[in-house]
């Protein structure tokens, strides 16, 4: 018996070593993939609650969503002023260099373009999506006197400057959604932007663009990088590239 124990003990001892000694450090764990970041920019006299449905959809997909809170939502300080504060808020939330995508509604689309084209934002932005934005102005802007609203009048110096500097967007993918039944963007075709992929959907009224499942499905599909193939929404036949 003693002889047997002497023969077996060394093997038992060696087998026990791994369980009682600290293991060698494992190779560095793979860093988790950075979350996508999306900035939602509201329009005239609105708040971030406009994006409630889209925000919920994106957060459900694991997207890090920032809802902008524009200062002077009636455009009192001008659209450049709003763009400056938008830049400050984005830098505070995500730092000055992390990649972002922007979804902007109505006036927010022009504020976002000013930030991207003339305040350095284009270098970090991966996608720009505008919804019912007056890229060519709106006649409704003659009904309100604030500086920012005057800048949205057709032919304004601000709009001309945006047109002249749009090459700063580089190869950034840009989409502009519109509805032919828009009573805020007058005429509705003013949302057509020659730099963008222009899509028209028969949505009743301006604010309902952000509650349309068809529009939201397409926005979500474009922003979520790993969208499950079986869940990808079909593009409606009403979509298409518009022309002025």
Residue 120 has which token pair?
């350095």
Per the domain annotation, does 108 fall within a domain? yes
By DSSP bridging, strand 174-178 and strand 37-41 are: unpaired
Per the domain annotation, does 21 fall within a domain? no
Residue 236 has which token pair?
């409606």
Angle 79-94/107-118 helices, nearest 10 degrees? 70
Q: Is the pTM of this model over 0.85?
A: no
Per the domain annotation, does 239 fall within a domain? no
CATH number of residue 127's parent domain: 3.40.50.1820
Evaluate whether 38 touches 102 at the Cβ level (below 8 Å): yes
Per the domain annotation, does 15 fall within a domain? no
- Judge whether residue 206 has pLDDT over 80: yes
The string of pLDDT tens digits covering residues 111-152 is: 999 999 999 999 999 999 999 999 999 999 999 999 999 999
Domain count, the chain: 1
Evaluate whether 146 touches 74 at the Cβ level (below 8 Å): yes
Residue 18 has which token pair?
């791994």
């Amino acid at each position: 018996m003693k002889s047997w124990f002497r023969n077996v003990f060394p093997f038992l001892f060696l087998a026990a070593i791994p369980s009682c000694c600290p293991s060698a450090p494992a190779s560095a764990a793979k860093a988790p993939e950075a979350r996508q970041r999306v900035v939602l920019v509201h329009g005239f006299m609105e708040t971030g609650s406009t994006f409630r449905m889209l925000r919920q959809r994106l957060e459900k997909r694991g997207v890090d969503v920032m809802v902008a809170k524009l200062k002077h939502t009636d455009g009192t300080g001008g659209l450049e002023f709003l763009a400056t504060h938008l830049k400050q808020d984005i830098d505070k939330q995500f730092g000055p260099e992390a990649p972002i995508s922007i979804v902007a509604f109505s006036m927010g689309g022009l504020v976002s373009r000013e930030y991207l084209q003339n305040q350095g934002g284009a270098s970090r932005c991966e996608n720009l999506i505008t919804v019912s934005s007056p890229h060519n102005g709106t006649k409704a802007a003659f009904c309100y006197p604030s500086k920012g609203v005057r800048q949205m009048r057709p032919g304004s110096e601000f709009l001309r400057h945006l047109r002249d500097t749009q090459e700063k967007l580089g190869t950034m993918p840009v989409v502009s959604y519109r509805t032919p039944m828009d009573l805020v963007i007058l005429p509705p075709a003013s949302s057509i932007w020659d730099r963008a992929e222009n899509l028209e959907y028969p949505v009743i009224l301006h604010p309902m663009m952000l509650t349309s499942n068809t529009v939201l499905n397409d926005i979500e599909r474009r922003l979520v990088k790993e969208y499950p193939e079986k869940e990808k929404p079909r593009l409606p036949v009403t979509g298409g590239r518009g022309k002025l």
